[in-house]
Amino acid sequence: MPVTVLIPQPLRSLTGNLSKVSGEGANIASLVANLEGSYPGMRERVLDESGQLRRFVNIYVNGDDVRFSDGLGTPLKDGDEVSIVPAVAGG
Protein backbone atom coordinates (compact mmCIF):
# COMPACT_ATOMS: atom_id res chain seq x y z
CA MET A 1 0.00 0.00 0.00
CA PRO A 2 2.13 2.90 -1.26
CA VAL A 3 1.92 6.28 0.41
CA THR A 4 3.83 9.49 -0.24
CA VAL A 5 6.05 10.63 2.62
CA LEU A 6 7.09 14.28 2.77
CA ILE A 7 10.60 14.51 4.22
CA PRO A 8 11.64 17.65 6.13
CA GLN A 9 15.00 19.29 5.42
CA PRO A 10 16.69 17.93 8.60
CA LEU A 11 16.01 14.33 7.49
CA ARG A 12 16.89 14.67 3.82
CA SER A 13 20.48 13.59 4.42
CA LEU A 14 18.98 10.12 5.04
CA THR A 15 17.03 10.11 1.75
CA GLY A 16 19.73 11.36 -0.59
CA ASN A 17 18.24 14.87 -0.37
CA LEU A 18 14.81 13.74 -1.59
CA SER A 19 11.89 15.80 -0.31
CA LYS A 20 9.34 13.06 -1.12
CA VAL A 21 9.71 9.30 -0.94
CA SER A 22 7.34 6.40 -1.38
CA GLY A 23 6.69 4.12 1.55
CA GLU A 24 4.45 1.26 2.53
CA GLY A 25 2.74 0.11 5.67
CA ALA A 26 -0.63 -0.69 7.15
CA ASN A 27 -0.08 1.98 9.80
CA ILE A 28 2.47 4.59 10.86
CA ALA A 29 4.55 2.09 12.88
CA SER A 30 4.95 -0.25 9.91
CA LEU A 31 5.65 2.71 7.61
CA VAL A 32 8.51 3.83 9.88
CA ALA A 33 9.90 0.28 9.83
CA ASN A 34 9.65 0.27 6.01
CA LEU A 35 11.39 3.64 5.78
CA GLU A 36 14.16 2.40 8.08
CA GLY A 37 14.84 -0.45 5.66
CA SER A 38 15.27 1.97 2.77
CA TYR A 39 16.75 4.91 4.68
CA PRO A 40 18.77 3.68 7.68
CA GLY A 41 18.66 6.09 10.61
CA MET A 42 15.08 7.21 9.97
CA ARG A 43 13.64 5.21 12.87
CA GLU A 44 15.97 6.69 15.49
CA ARG A 45 15.28 10.20 14.24
CA VAL A 46 11.48 9.74 14.40
CA LEU A 47 11.02 7.36 17.36
CA ASP A 48 12.54 7.47 20.83
CA GLU A 49 14.28 4.60 22.67
CA SER A 50 10.94 3.16 23.82
CA GLY A 51 9.59 3.09 20.26
CA GLN A 52 7.24 6.05 20.72
CA LEU A 53 7.02 9.13 18.55
CA ARG A 54 9.68 11.62 19.62
CA ARG A 55 8.34 14.58 21.55
CA PHE A 56 9.51 17.12 18.99
CA VAL A 57 8.43 15.23 15.87
CA ASN A 58 4.92 15.51 14.49
CA ILE A 59 3.44 13.19 11.88
CA TYR A 60 0.39 14.08 9.83
CA VAL A 61 -1.68 11.83 7.58
CA ASN A 62 -3.51 13.88 4.98
CA GLY A 63 -3.14 16.92 7.23
CA ASP A 64 -4.38 15.25 10.43
CA ASP A 65 -2.00 14.94 13.41
CA VAL A 66 -1.61 11.25 14.34
CA ARG A 67 -1.32 12.20 18.03
CA PHE A 68 -5.05 12.97 17.93
CA SER A 69 -5.98 9.68 16.29
CA ASP A 70 -4.28 6.33 16.90
CA GLY A 71 -0.68 7.55 17.09
CA LEU A 72 1.67 4.99 15.58
CA GLY A 73 -1.35 2.73 15.02
CA THR A 74 -2.97 5.27 12.68
CA PRO A 75 -4.04 3.27 9.61
CA LEU A 76 -2.79 4.11 6.14
CA LYS A 77 -4.34 3.48 2.75
CA ASP A 78 -3.09 3.73 -0.82
CA GLY A 79 -2.44 7.31 -1.85
CA ASP A 80 -2.24 8.82 1.63
CA GLU A 81 0.21 11.67 2.18
CA VAL A 82 2.30 11.43 5.33
CA SER A 83 4.19 14.50 6.52
CA ILE A 84 7.01 14.29 9.03
CA VAL A 85 7.34 17.68 10.68
CA PRO A 86 9.97 18.51 13.28
CA ALA A 87 8.59 20.86 15.93
CA VAL A 88 10.13 24.32 15.94
CA ALA A 89 11.02 25.81 19.30
CA GLY A 90 12.06 29.33 20.01
CA GLY A 91 12.19 31.79 22.74
Look over the chain and give the mean of its residue pLDDT values, rounded to a whole number: 94
Distance of CA 6 to CAs 17, 50, 90, Å? 12, 24, 23
Q: What is the mean pLDDT of residues 15-34?
A: 97
Of 49, 89, 54, nearest to 71 by C-alpha is 54
- Determine which of 13-17, 42-46, 86-90 has the lowest per-residue pLDDT on average: 86-90
The fraction of the chain above a pLDDT of 70, given in percent, is: 96
Q: What is the DSSP letter of 13?
A: G
Rg (CA), the chain: 12
Superfamily of domain 2-86 in the CATH hierarchy = Beta-grasp domain (3.10.20.30)
Residue ranges of the domains in the chain?
Answer: 2-86
Strand pairing partners for 20?
6
Judged against a pLDDT cut of 60, whether residue 54 lies above it is answered with: yes
Q: Give the model's pLDDT for residue 87.
A: 82
pLDDT at 1 over 90: no
